[in-house]
Structure 1
Amino acid sequence: MATADQVKALVKSHGEGDNSRFYTVALQVAAGAARNGQIRFAQDLRDLVDSLRTRESHRKVAPIASVAQPRGELAQLFSASYPDLVVSDLALEEAVRSRLERVLLEQRQSDRLRSHGYLPMRRLLLTGPPGTGKTMTAHVLAGELRLPLFQVRLDGLITKFMGETAAKLRLIFDALAETRGVYLFDEIDALAGERGSTNDVGEIRRVLNSFLQFLEMEHSDSLVIAATNHPQLLDRAIFRRFDAVIDYPLPSPSVARQVIRNRLAHVRRRPARMGQT
């Protein structure tokens, strides 16, 4: 059965309207029941969560489908998608998960925060080794908030012509203000490397200065996500332009075990045949 902490987490997530957290804890309860031999109860609980998620996603399809794909020059700068991932699809250390849940909570309560003179977190810098979930986090935030995900294509952004990259950056930030979504700048170190490095050139400095200025002046409702595997290469000024810097460590043994448990929890247990033990 559910532990005391799980019951409190269920009540808290319900009170805050955090359906994703509510479903995650419910699936944890189901996994614990399965381990204790309560197979029927565990399966019924998982089926209930699946049906509620399906019903919720059907209610929210229309706003996503109404967002058009980027056209014209923007099509060379973005790739658009409409993720359906949720927080429970991520296996993360609790410290990272709690920070992401705080971002989601503030986004869902943004009107309430603004009424008290505060702004929700919406500019995140994600750092850590490859494969730790940074890019997937952008997909999860888009899926949880039912927003389109626009991934900035650096190969279409960075050009060899002076001034052209800065002009394309302006197009990106204009689109960011016009269409609410999650905008992902992956491998941001290619765009925001430290000024004054030995291989620095004047055009790269101008691009970085433009990027910093656009971030400073940007006051939209969109989420801006930047990710890098090499935070040591970033210019120090870039860190001050983000509401939060979240470091993704390599998975611990407990996180690895959680991934395995989550996968096995969805496997139906076959009944034993006659004569088998």
Structure 2
Amino acid sequence: MPSAAQVKALLQSHTSGDDERFYAVALQVAAAEARHGHETLAKDLRTLVDRAKSKRSLAHATTNVLHIAQPTGEAAELLDSQHPEISVRDLVLSDAIRERVQRVIQEQRQINRLQAHGLRPRQRLLFTGPPGCGKTMTASAIASELRLPLFVVRLDALITRYLGESANKLRLIFDAVNQTRAVYLFDEFDSIGYSRESGNDVGEMRRVLNSFLVFIERMHSHSLVIAATNHGGRLDKALYRRFDDLIEFSLPGELQIRQMIDSRLQSIAAPKLMWPRIVKAAANLSFGEIGRACEDAMKQSILKETGKVTTTSLIAALKERRLFLPPLSEP
């Protein structure tokens, strides 16, 4: 067993982000276990450290490569470049959604194999569901898994700043899609993709929507285009057949609530949380709001020096998040 000093050093190095010291102390623990005849445990610890170091090196190398790809020219005014480092494993998703996301990633990783058989991978995705349920995070994870930059389309600039030029500016975005392989996220997509049957339709937005339909149909690159909306019911019906896959996100169920809270609280949670009460308090809240409630409860435990998040403090934080939130429902 590691000594008290080693446990303290591990925690200090982890909280300060000193990876090298963390690995060094972990190897000291492995060496001590080997001296006590625990060869299997010592070997497992050394293997875990080696894997962590390799993953860290790959992440740094990947980040350096990703920063080479940046939007240029006028497209730079319409695209926010991001370089996420998050794995699909880090996301709390239902098994069904995780399987579909992994399928997209697998197809993208084996593009050449599919093309050799005359097939095209999924690359036009539509994410729908309530706010705070993981649409943007999932797009980030897909980009990270594929080691591609994430370009978030600034629809606010496209619609307001360039009123009258929106369709032409949209062409610039799709020029970038076809020239630079990346994941392009059209967030709050209903702002341009709402139904053409809507009574609020105007000529400018109709031109933008029609242009989008043409451009996405004519994509000729390996980029991924992801459109995300909180209001799937508002979208024009013609859009659905332009996408390769529709992934519908939903509010977390009991299992996802527990997974979310476990991942956020980790060692700061009290040993015996009363899960039925917590799940009831978190019902109908989004992943985002549950995460914020966990952070609020953690802050209280730190400021009040209680050291642990209890069932009572967590439920209070969850109820507080609910007080000022409008009902999460699809219009």
Query: Is the deviation greater in 195-204 or in 182-191?
Result: 195-204
Query: Hey, what's the Cα distance between the residues in 2 that align with 1:65 and 1:208?
Result: 31
Query: Hey, what's the Cα distance between the residues in 2 that align with 1:226 and 1:116?
Result: 28
Query: Hey, what's the Cα distance between the residues in 1 that align with 2:117 and 2:64?
Result: 31
Query: Hey, what's the Cα distance between the residues in 1 that align with 2:267 and 2:85?
Result: 18
The answer on 1:157 being equivalent to 2:158 is yes
What corresponds to 1:132 in structure 2?
A: 133
Call closer, same or farther: CA 1:257–1:42 in 2, change over 3 Å.
farther
What corresponds to 2:271 in structure 1?
A: none
What corresponds to 2:218 in structure 1?
A: 217
What corresponds to 1:91 in structure 2?
A: 92
One-letter amino acid of the structure 1 residue matched with residue 237 of structure 2: R
Query: Shift of the alpha carbon at 1:263?
Result: 4.3
One-letter amino acid of the structure 1 residue matched with residue 172 of structure 2: L
Query: Hey, what's the Cα distance between the residues in 1 that align with 2:266 and 2:171?
Result: 47
Secondary structure of the residue aligned to 1:125 is: strand
Query: Shift of the alpha carbon at 1:51?
Result: 2.9
Query: Shift of the alpha carbon at 1:266?
Result: 7.2
Call closer, same or farther: CA 1:215–1:249 in 2, change over 3 Å.
same
Query: Hey, what's the Cα distance between the residues in 2 that align with 1:263 and 1:206?
Result: 44
What corresponds to 2:142 in structure 1?
A: 141
Query: Hey, what's the Cα distance between the residues in 2 that align with 1:199 and 1:259?
Result: 39
One-letter amino acid of the structure 2 residue matched with residue 127 of structure 1: T
Secondary structure of the residue aligned to 1:60 is: helix
Query: Hey, what's the Cα distance between the residues in 2 that align with 1:89 and 1:140?
Result: 9
Deviations 1:106-154 (A, max 9, x none): 1111110111111111111000001110011111011111111100001
Query: Shift of the alpha carbon at 1:223?
Result: 0.5
Unaligned 5+ segments in structure 2 are: 1-40, 269-331
Q: TM-score, normalization: structure 2?
A: 0.64
One-letter amino acid of the structure 2 residue matched with residue 213 of structure 1: V
What corresponds to 1:242 in structure 2?
A: 243
What corresponds to 1:63 in structure 2?
A: 65
> Residues 1-277 of structure 1 correspond to what in structure 2 (within 5 A)?
47=49, 49-67=51-69, 69-159=70-160, 163-263=164-264
Query: Shift of the alpha carbon at 1:42?
Result: 9.1
Aligned length: 230
Query: Hey, what's the Cα distance between the residues in 2 that align with 1:256 and 1:43?
Result: 31
Query: Shift of the alpha carbon at 1:63?
Result: 2.2
Query: Hey, what's the Cα distance between the residues in 1 that align with 2:100 and 2:109?
Result: 14
Call closer, same or farther: CA 1:243–1:47 in 2, change over 3 Å.
same
One-letter amino acid of the structure 2 residue matched with residue 216 of structure 1: E
Q: TM-score, normalization: structure 1?
A: 0.76
Query: Shift of the alpha carbon at 1:62?
Result: 3.7
Which of the two has higher C-alpha Rg? Answer: 2
Deviations 1:140-178 (A, max 9, x none): 011111111100001111148765100000000001111
* Contact 2:153–2:186, Cα closer than 8 Å, also in 1: yes
Query: Is the deviation greater in 201-210 or in 169-178?
Result: 201-210
Query: Shift of the alpha carbon at 1:44?
Result: 7.0
Query: Hey, what's the Cα distance between the residues in 2 that align with 1:148 and 1:161?
Result: 25
Query: Hey, what's the Cα distance between the residues in 1 that align with 2:249 and 2:235?
Result: 16
Secondary structure of the residue aligned to 1:111 is: helix
Query: Hey, what's the Cα distance between the residues in 2 that align with 1:47 and 1:262?
Result: 21
Measured on the aligned residues, the alpha-carbon RMSD in Å equals 2.7
Query: Hey, what's the Cα distance between the residues in 2 that align with 1:42 and 1:94?
Result: 29
Query: Hey, what's the Cα distance between the residues in 2 that align with 1:79 and 1:174?
Result: 16
- The structure showing larger relative contact order (alpha-carbon pairs under 8 Å, at least 6 residues apart) is 1
